[in-house]
Chains A and B, each alone.
Chain A
């Protein structure tokens, strides 16, 4: 299977390739990609250099242009596609149907992948994207079980890529405006979720309170590690219950499921985390490359080697196991 690693910076791209990533994905430094964080991403020269570096070592580069263009501002997104092609990118990762139509018409030679932000969750809609826009690979949403992924692969002709490590969206991706409800900034429109610009911490009697856009997301006792206040991982009250209504502050680790995902017909395994450091990306890439080689050789999967890298120090296999629902 192909290992697809994140790169938020040129240094992370080089580190990922050197650590064994067969493919790296990255984006331009603006609202055209879903990790539009301060200090991250690539300018045009860096993209061309990154692609040349990867190609020189037999690796591929995918450019994520996976937010939804603003009405009246489509040229920014169209330019990103043209510049990705000029830089020599192996594919673009798109979510918006207007953008897919534009790429298919104006850049027919540039391979198109469907972003997880399109949340294509069944064979019919995947075949729709394949037939309408010539999509060659689909990044599956994190709402599916391994059995469902296997069933999808039996009914489609395009490749599938699934997330195996990193942040975990519990909502159907690309169809969530929780962040903009609280902050005005959303993944779809701005490429950010629960942005740091809207986070405030306060020492209060009960401990450290984290607020997002003024809404309290969680409170941790003194001396306890405080997870980042991502809205859907917050602690809330409903009726007589207080707790993590949507999801605990855990991250995804599907290492143990790699053999099952291979049997399910998955082409590529994806690591989330373009906002992560070069050292993190290198360690995760090395570890997953080893796991993929173990899988290919029929050896058991390495156990929890990456636990210390997981957000909130706890990991889940998420929707891949049906009990999660």
Chain B
């Protein structure tokens, strides 16, 4: 189940496969929780909101189409729920004047761009959570643009191990963000 990408997983969810559903919960809980918690300071409320996102996904599963991944759907649902929480649970909106200040831009930014920026930050934390060898091999390769050979000597492991670890790391990220 862990090997399935989001589209395959979601087809199973639409066929009422609850194991697939629980794999989806495993896959997205942490990153969604962090997204919510950055805006909803109370952890209990954040967890409630997280639960509601999955509940509504289950109820809406036949009405949703996804292209590559579920994350746009999940994060936008999170946005609606966080805004709803802000209206109903917060007596006063903090820094309300920031919301009211109008934006003057040459061309409007799309929501996808804004979301992508935030995801980049969250992905970095995801890389932090990888097992040590995988993390080192992956960051040296992608961030420092080092060759496989150099990484192998730097980490004192075989080139094959470096290759294996990088492809594992890509698989790891792909599963979470594809």
> Is the A/B pair a real complex?
no
Q: Which residues of A contact B (CB under 8 A)?
A: none
